[in-house]
Structure 1
Amino acid sequence: MAAAVRLLREQCLFTAEQLREVLGTCPAVLLEEPRRLHHHFQYAYFRMGVQQKEMVRARLFRTPFAELRNRHIFLERRGLYQTPHKGQTQSSNPKLRDILHLAEKDFLASLAHATPEEYEVFKKLLAREEEEEKEEEEDRDALYTEEDEDFENEGSKTAWE
């Protein structure tokens, strides 16, 4: 629990008041693995351009990361969400609390302007993309491991041999 609090305070830079609000409204963050909690924060901060104040207001940590990511990427790919450039705010983007807390049918109707079928297909395609990326990463890791083993075997000979 102390690790989660320290992470939110020191690495995510929530103020004491914001931290109190997060803990009061989303006490489950105390049980969250710090690495996952930090990833959740970083995604909202860097990828979506959302500041801590808005995260607290929207109760970011109540929404599972997968749902946040699905909805954000769906809006982004439909051209309805743009990541602000460093130092800029993007006022035309939907509010985080609307992205997170609208019921799925309302999210689709009012923000995404899409049908439930389109969103279901999107989620399946996104899951497939993630699986393919994971497989490619595993293949790359295996290739590097094989190359390391080959190098180590060749490297056992001295330069004079």
Structure 2
Amino acid sequence: MAAAVRLLRERCLFTAEQLREVLGTCPAVLLEEPRRLHHHFQYAYFRMGVSQKEMVKARLFQMPFPELRNRHIFLERRGLYQTPYKGQTQTSNPKLKDILQLPEEDFLASLACATTEEYDVFKRLLAREEEEEEEDEEDRNARYAEEDEDVDSEGSDTA
């Protein structure tokens, strides 16, 4: 628990007041693994361009990270959310609070302008993309390990 509090205070730079609000509205963060909690924060801060103040106001940590990511990427791919470049965006992004707190049906109808079927298909395709990326990463790691073994065995033959 202390590790989660320290992470939110020191690495995520929440003020004492913001931290109190986060812990009051989402005490489950205390049980979260610090690495995962930090990843959740970093995604919202860097990828979505959201400030700590907005995260607290929207209650970021109440939504599981995979659902936040699904909703964000869905909006992004539909052209309805733009990752800020150095704090600047060409379009007006939806508020984090709307992305997080609207029930899925309302999120789809009012923000994403999509059907439940479209969102379900999107989530399945995104999961498949992630699986393929993981497999590609595993293949690359296996090839590098084989290359390292080949180099090691060549070096031992000549020694």
TM-score by length of 2: 0.96
- Residue 118 (structure 1) aligned with residue 118 (structure 2): yes
SS in 2 for 1:71: helix
Q: Distance in 1 between matches of 2:53 and 2:20?
A: 12
Q: Distance in 1 between matches of 2:149 and 2:39?
A: 33
TM-score by length of 1: 0.95
SS in 2 for 1:80: coil
In the other structure, the counterpart of 1:48 is: 48
Give the letter aligned to residue 97 of structure 1: K
In the other structure, the counterpart of 1:109 is: 109
Checking the alignment, whether the CA contact within 8 Å between 1:49 and 1:89 is kept in structure 2 is no
In the other structure, the counterpart of 2:141 is: 141
In the other structure, the counterpart of 2:70 is: 70
In the other structure, the counterpart of 1:60 is: 60
1:91-116 CA distance string (max 9 Å, x none): 71000010011011100000000011
1:38-66 CA distance string (max 9 Å, x none): 00000000000000000000100010000
Q: Distance in 2 between matches of 1:127 and 1:20?
A: 35
Checking the alignment, whether the CA contact within 8 Å between 2:21 and 2:56 is kept in structure 1 is yes
Q: Distance in 2 between matches of 1:60 and 1:87?
A: 19
In the other structure, the counterpart of 2:82 is: 82
What runs of 5+ residues in structure 2 fail to find an aligned partner?
none
Give the letter aligned to residue 50 of structure 2: V
Q: Distance in 2 between matches of 1:92 and 1:46?
A: 17
In the other structure, the counterpart of 2:94 is: 94
Q: Distance in 2 between matches of 1:19 and 1:94?
A: 24
- Where has structure 1 moved over 6 Å in runs of 4 or more? none
SS in 2 for 1:156: helix
Q: Percent identity?
A: 84
Number of aligned positions between the proteins:
159
Q: Distance in 2 between matches of 1:91 and 1:97?
A: 17
Give the letter aligned to residue 68 of structure 1: L
SS in 2 for 1:145: helix
What runs of 5+ residues in structure 1 fail to find an aligned partner?
none
Worse-matched range after superposition: 88-97 or 17-26: 88-97
1:149-160 correspondence to structure 2 within 5 Å: 149-158=149-158
Q: Distance in 2 between matches of 1:76 and 1:103?
A: 19
* C-alpha deviation, 1:90, in angstroms: 6.8
